[in-house]
Structure 1
């Protein structure tokens, strides 16, 4: 008889089973009972860790997919650093369907921070841009800081972007529109370069 799973081993099995259920049947058909049956454990084992299916689903996403960004991008410019984050975000979005996003957000309105995420990473990107002289300061409103990510997420929730099949050239064009036509002009209007050359003043 196989040994009984406990602790981290059992939790990992549950989260992987929850993700498998989402992938196979969709979020709307995800149930605590279904995941428990898949893992061959009691549903109360799950309820002791996660109060409902949305918390279970979020934990499963984090467990299976890992962090979106592990280190702050440092590509040498504000545009390239944000572009790196958007590329990572699009790669992650290939695993999300509009049905999953709508389901999670409808059941857990406070989930916004989970998907916009990266406040510390984005703030550091802006601080580095200020240190390079691209902008005068990094003290920008949160809505501005998160704007590129919010626009990508909005497109995904509208269902207008099929991330899994979108060609790389189209993806890059979409990101360029967000950064060059919307985000960077706004940032420059609020915290433009310190001098025409974009370098901090000497002395």
Structure 2
């Protein structure tokens, strides 16, 4: 039995396979509204509580850092969201970037080489390593055959273009371990490697 940590990719996507639409994050209300819905947040909680390291690309890292510390301190924030913000603050965050020179968010560090970083993380003691909605990192990990578990929330919308999650030319088999039809129209999928 393997004792290495699992690499778990979590992402929201449209029916046509995009994590961001043609107008980029500023036009992704279809994603943000569903991701912030209480039922999606509850579903996601079951995933992030199983991880103790977050692996992010530069864009997601900077986006998360720009909003989450403020959400965590806001008195109007619901308890589940505030707890997620506290977890994000306290959790080790590894930012994969060739251009970032400083990681200012607490418990953050920069990694230049994705493969060696994933190999090191797998060998360290701990819980899951969660790749949270960083499409470029997830795509590269899929190309390298380094994803152990896909956790997707599929939103019933066709956006017609944008940032695709799954790269061409990748042949990996997954099995279905769980399907959750959430009341807000989202379908949660748990797909571990075969």
TM-score by length of 2: 0.28
Normalized per residue, the structure richer in helix is: 1
**The structure with more strand, counted as a fraction of residues:** 2
The structure with the largest alpha-carbon Rg is 1
- Greater RCO, 1 or 2 (C-alpha within 8 Å, sep 6+): 2
Instruction: Give the TM-score normalised by the residue count of structure 1.
Output: 0.27
